[in-house]
Amino acid sequence: MHINRALRALIIDDSEDDALLLIRELRRNGLAIEYETVASAKDMGEMLKNKSWDFILCDFVIPGFGGMEALSTFKEFGLNMPFILVSGKIPEEEAIEALKSGAGDFILKQNLSRLYPALIRELDDANSRKAKRRALEELLQTKNALEELNATLARKVEEEVEKNRQKDAVMIHQSRLAVMGDMLSVVAHHWRQPLNALGLIIQDVKEAKKYGEMTDEYIDGMIAGAMGQINLMSKTIDDFRGFFRPKETIETFLLKDNINGGVELLKPQLDEYNITVNAVCDKDMSKCDTCDTRLICGYQSELNQVILNILLNAKDAIREKQKTTGVKEGAINISFTHPKDTKSVIISISDNGGGIKTGVADKIFEPYFTTKEQGKGIGIGLYMSKVIVEQNFKGKIGIKNIQGGVEATIELPLAIDA
Ligand SMILES: Nc1ncnc2c1ncn2[C@@H]1O[C@H](COP(=O)(O)OP(=O)(O)OP(=O)(O)O)[C@@H](O)[C@H]1O
Ligand SMILES: [Mg+2]
């Protein structure tokens, strides 16, 4: 044991000379000692209460006081330090009794050379008791903290899950709004042609009047023509709303309708940019029982959103490539595979838009990650698609570069009744 300070000793003895003898013996062995002496229970109590000590040496026989009484006062304080009895003579039974009652050792004054090793041993013991107690306390604290954590863990997990659910709900909504922005230009493309036709019809009325051709038949024909165009426009709006209207309940639906709906909506825009869409199935698509089979799903509009996100990304990539390389055509290929013995279908949507930019492939599913210029993308399309596919459809989504472009795959479990 390494001691680098003066030890504080409380000596219980009625003889100052005897006390000094003990101290001298310890100092002779190299210990620095500061000490005080008391000779009554009251003084001993005061000293223990008001000062801190490293050990106690106690004479066994003191007039009006005694070793055993001092020992019981010492025990009342519950202190962890050596208590060593020292005496000129001590009957064997009493010595045994004292040791049983908590004295560390007893030393005969005639044999003081035992004092130093006994004290060092007792100090060591006290130290290791202290370390053990501290370790035990720490263990207890950890145990309590763990119990506390255990009790609150379930609640905390629930709270976090709920928070995440709310965050995702907000993002699904946000993403729907973002796609809506794209949809406005989709509607504009759908309307361009009927609006042109309506303009021609209206201009023709003026000509017909000028040349006296305003017959009943002419007016009927004109009204029918104009109404036809107006119905076309209103159908676009209905299709558009139907595609996006969030349903209140989970439903089953045809996968083919879902994909076709997305492609139909984008058709005028894709046509304008010379982007062709090919859809193939590893069975005969026209009578593929699996594509015609119902899927378990969350909300159909959410899967529509996923398909649109991927189609829009493909269109954006192809447009970008057209602008930078001057290539005029683009292609999107959609294929369905139905792996044998699995209750799932894999939809693959690939494009030839040049692929994911270098170094960003591992970030594209992060929320708000985009490589598009400001105003063109907010970077939640793929994040939301992943949340929807994995959480709401219990499926998988993956995106990877292929020769000349990107392939997105979505694996969806089929409905149990499929
Ligand atoms: N088909 C693709 N070809 C090339 N890069 C792609 C393709 N699909 C996604 N990416 C890359 O992944 C990024 C993230 O796509 P994501 O759909 O999440 O966001 P965004 O399209 O940029 O914006 P938002 O969809 O919110 O309008 C894109 O910015 C793009 O860099
Ligand atoms: Mg996107």
Ligand 2 mean position, distance from CA 316 (Å): 8
Domain boundary among 114, 131, 148: 131
Residues 396 and 262 in one domain: yes
Task: Compute the distance between CA of residue 313 and CA of residue 319 in angstroms, rounded to an integer.
Answer: 10
Q: Residue 394 to residues 268, 391, 410, 416: CA-CA distances in angstroms?
A: 33, 5, 11, 13
Q: Residue 78 to residues 48, 74, 132: CA-CA distances in angstroms?
A: 10, 7, 16
* Structure confidence by residue, pLDDT tens digits, 60-103: 888 888 888 999 999 999 899 999 999 887 778 888 888 888 89
Protein residue with least CA distance to atom 19, ligand 1: 379
Instruction: Please check the confidence at residue 299 and state whether its pLDDT lies above 90.
Output: no
Give the model's pLDDT for residue 248: 66
Q: Which residue has the higher pLDDT, 36 or 301?
A: 36
Give the model's pLDDT for residue 279: 84
Average pLDDT over residues 26-32: 93
Protein residue with least CA distance to atom 17, ligand 1: 381
Atom of ligand 1 at shortest range from CA of 382: 18
* Structure confidence by residue, pLDDT tens digits, 131-153: 999 999 999 999 998 888 888 88
Task: Compute the distance between CA of residue 286 and CA of residue 292 in angstroms, rounded to an integer.
Answer: 9
Ligand 2 mean position, distance from CA 381 (Å): 4
Residues 118 and 265 in one domain: no
Structure tokens at 120: 């060092």
Structure tokens at 106: 């007893």
Instruction: Please check the confidence at residue 386 and state whether its pLDDT lies above 70.
Output: yes
Residues 127 and 250 in one domain: no
pLDDT band for position 252 (50/70/90)? confident
Average pLDDT over residues 245-261: 75
Q: Is 357 touching ligand 1 by the criterion CB < 6 Å?
A: yes
Q: Residue 128 to residues 101, 122, 131, 366: CA-CA distances in angstroms?
A: 20, 10, 5, 54
Q: Is residue 213 assigned to a domain?
A: no
pLDDT band for position 46 (50/70/90)? very high
Q: Is 290 touching ligand 1 by the criterion CB < 6 Å?
A: no
Instruction: Please check the confidence at residue 199 and state whether its pLDDT lies above 80.
Output: yes
Q: Is residue 210 assigned to a domain?
A: no
Q: Which residue has the higher pLDDT, 255 or 213?
A: 213
Instruction: Please check the confidence at residue 286 and state whether its pLDDT lies above 70.
Output: no
Task: Compute the distance between CA of residue 56 and CA of residue 103 in angstroms, rounded to an integer.
Answer: 10
Give the model's pLDDT for residue 418: 44
Please state whether the predicted TM-score (pTM) of the whole model is above 0.75. Answer: no
Ligand 2 mean position, distance from CA 385 (Å): 9
The proportion of the chain whose per-residue pLDDT surpasses 90, expressed as a percent, equals 46
Here the CATH number for the domain that contains residue 346 is: 3.30.565.10
Q: Is residue 65 assigned to a domain?
A: yes
How many CA atoms lie less than 13 Å away from 387 in the CB half-sphere?
Answer: 20
Average pLDDT over residues 164-184: 76
Domain boundary among 102, 131, 160: 131
Instruction: Please check the confidence at residue 328 and state whether its pLDDT lies above 80.
Output: yes
Q: Is 363 touching ligand 1 by the criterion CB < 6 Å?
A: no
pLDDT band for position 282 (50/70/90)? confident
Q: Residue 324 to residues 206, 333, 355: CA-CA distances in angstroms?
A: 46, 22, 14
Cβ-count burial 23-53 (b if 16+ within 10 Å, e if not): bebbeeeebebebebbbbbeebeebbeeeeb
pLDDT band for position 336 (50/70/90)? confident
Ligand 2 mean position, distance from CA 255 (Å): 21
Protein residue with least CA distance to atom 12, ligand 1: 364
Residues 258 and 397 in one domain: yes
Cβ-count burial 197-206 (b if 16+ within 10 Å, e if not): ebeebeeeee
Q: Is residue 232 assigned to a domain?
A: no
Give the model's pLDDT for residue 213: 87
Q: Is residue 180 assigned to a domain?
A: no
Instruction: State how many domains the chain has.
Output: 2
Q: Is 371 touching ligand 1 by the criterion CB < 6 Å?
A: yes
Instruction: Please check the confidence at residue 294 and state whether its pLDDT lies above 70.
Output: no
Task: Compute the distance between CA of residue 112 and CA of residue 119 in angstroms, rounded to an integer.
Answer: 11
Instruction: Please check the confidence at residue 362 and state whether its pLDDT lies above 70.
Output: yes
Atom of ligand 1 at shortest range from CA of 376: 27
Ligand 2 mean position, distance from CA 380 (Å): 7
Q: Is 87 touching ligand 1 by the criterion CB < 6 Å?
A: no
Domain boundary among 110, 131, 152: 131
Here the CATH number for the domain that contains residue 86 is: 3.40.50.2300
Average pLDDT over residues 385-389: 90
Protein residue with least CA distance to atom 8, ligand 1: 313
Q: Is residue 227 assigned to a domain?
A: no
Which ligand has the minimum distance to the alpha carbon of residue 314?
Answer: 1
Residues 251 and 399 in one domain: yes
Mean pLDDT of the chain, nearest integer: 87
Atom of ligand 1 at shortest range from CA of 360: 31
Residues 262 and 117 in one domain: no
Give residue 413's domain range: 246-418
Ligand 2 mean position, distance from CA 311 (Å): 9
Task: Compute the distance between CA of residue 348 and CA of residue 359 in angstroms, rounded to an integer.
Answer: 23
Q: Is residue 395 assigned to a domain?
A: yes
Report the Cα–Cα distance between both ends of the chain, in Å, rounded: 79
Ligand 2 mean position, distance from CA 415 (Å): 28
The proportion of the chain whose per-residue pLDDT surpasses 70, expressed as a percent, equals 94
Q: Is residue 339 assigned to a domain?
A: yes
